[in-house]
Amino acid sequence: MSAVEIFAVAGAPIRHSRSPDIFHRWFAQSKTGAIYTRICSKDIDRLFGMCRVLGIRGLNITSPLKEEAHDAVDELSEPARAVKAVNTVVFEGKHSRGHNTDPDGVSYALAEAGIDVAAKKVVVVGAGGAARAALYALKQLGPSHVTLVGRSPRRVERLSTELPCTPAELGELAEILDDCDLLVSCVPAGADAVPAELLRPDMTVLDAAYTDSKIRQAAQIARCRYVDGAGWLLGQARSAHRVFFGAPPKGKDLSRRALTAAPRRPSVLLLGMMGSGKTTVGRKLAARCGLGFTDSDWEIERASGMTISEIFRVRGEEAFRQAEREIVKKAAFQDDKVLVLGGGAVSNPQSLSAIAHFDTKIFLYCSPPVALDRIEKGSRPLLEVDDPLGRYVEILDERRDAYLRSADLVIDTTEESIDDVVDNVAREIGLSG
């Protein structure tokens, strides 16, 4: 394993997450050289196993894994125990410690916006993990009264006993908001939970969502003060940085600009080791989404009239890598394209430069024993050794940093069917419809 520190954000879907953009800017400013990527996962045990194989030191965790992570880690911080969810994990050898930095995000967002909730009346809408974090943070800030409203009376009642507040039903919302100073919306961006006519111009709305949301539209109609979730996101990320490195980052304004997503083209690059399923996934993905398809190995074999094994034996690896570089450079600027790239391309600086121009770069990971079982014997020159599994692990270790530094997203193919992997990729790149 190298000395490079690796971090990631995990959940499903995850491609939309702006956490890598935030941390990349902080890493660039501090010149740490650390890596930060996204991992698509719905299974906490498989996620933790993959993180240990790949040497990932720290994780930020989002939906739907926060509550599962709470039960999976070896040790919990006090906020994580109180909120009963984990959004940040640090791995130290086989030991894992879970934290929850969302309450810090709430406090940061309020402070950044100049909102003092002391002796104020607050209403929290929603009864999920974000609401738990908001209630925990508010407890430290001294409001005069906090009311919790949600669709599920049972969840609201249970949460109000765990993090003391007044429970209420959605039908009471109009009366409750009549003298509310601050509304904290902890519902999904698309949820239409609070009608505009219930809001007042002298009211403040803090939204957990940092993208456009229904509550934002309602606040604009009602002309009340609206604070989006950008501060919340940055605040919890700053706290996670402190967990990872022992100190908060610098450059608040710089990182805030990272929350604006750049327009994306539908060009997809699939990276990964032998046996990860790149070619089969790529071909099916292209057919599913109506995209062009190129496999670099196939293109090289077609152009040379030789198999990959023959090229390695007769012309040498450098000749193969040169042909591979040309294919990557050509495909990098083509829209509506899926390119499957040979596993070793990331070892070449010129190929890496071209790789950066792809809209979406996905590292398909497969555990070494499973990947080796998928590979036809004698088809891979690099594995023609006495201990092919040991050699496979060595190669993965050599390429690991380049894969993770290049990729926008990591998807585990170890136990998934090809169709499930294609579904995951299509959903993440916004072409699942």
Say whether 267-428 and 104-228 share the same fold: yes
Number of other residues whose CB lies within 10 A of the CB of residue 169 = 14
Long-range contacts of range 187-191, CB-CB < 8 Å, 24 or more positions apart? 187/125, 187/126, 187/215, 188/213, 189/213, 189/214, 190/214
Q: Which two tokens stand for residue 3?
A: 């000395």
Q: Which two tokens stand for residue 216?
A: 């934002």
CA-based radius of gyration for the chain: 24
Phi, psi of 99 (to 5 degrees): -125, 165
Q: Are 148 and 165 in contact (CB under 8 A)?
A: yes
| Residue from 213, 249, 258 nearest 19 by CA | 258
Q: Which two tokens stand for residue 152?
A: 């599920």
Residue type, 219: A
Please state the pTM of the whole predicted model. 0.87
- So what's the pLDDT on residue 14? 93
- So what's the pLDDT on residue 16? 85
Domain 6-99+234-259 in this protein, CATH class: alpha beta
- So what's the pLDDT on residue 241? 96
The CATH topology of domain 267-428 is: Rossmann fold (3.40.50)
Domain boundaries, the chain: 6-99+234-259, 104-228, 267-428
Non-local (6+) Cβ contacts of 362 within 8 A are 268, 269, 270, 271, 407, 408, 409, 410, 411, 425, 428
**SS3 state of residue 387:** coil
Calculate the CA dihedral of residues 61, 63, 66, 67 and round it to 10 degrees. -170
Distance CA 393, CA 423 (A): 28
Of the CA atoms within 13 Å of residue 304, those in its CB half-sphere come to 20
Element (H, E) at 219: helix 214-222
**Domain 104-228 listed as CATH 3.20.20.80:** no
Distance CA 431, CA 369 (A): 32
Residue type, 59: L
For the chain (433 residues), the mean pLDDT of every run of 10, in chain order, is: 86 90 89 93 95 96 93 96 96 95 96 94 94 95 96 93 94 92 93 92 94 91 94 94 92 63 72 94 92 88 86 85 82 80 81 81 96 86 88 94 93 94 90 64
- So what's the pLDDT on residue 257? 64
Burial class (CB in 10 A: 0-12, 13-18, 19+), 303: exposed
In whole angstroms, how far apart are CA 243 and each of 17, 89, 97, 121, 249? 20, 9, 10, 32, 11
- So what's the pLDDT on residue 32? 85
Q: Are 272 and 363 in contact (CB under 8 A)?
A: yes
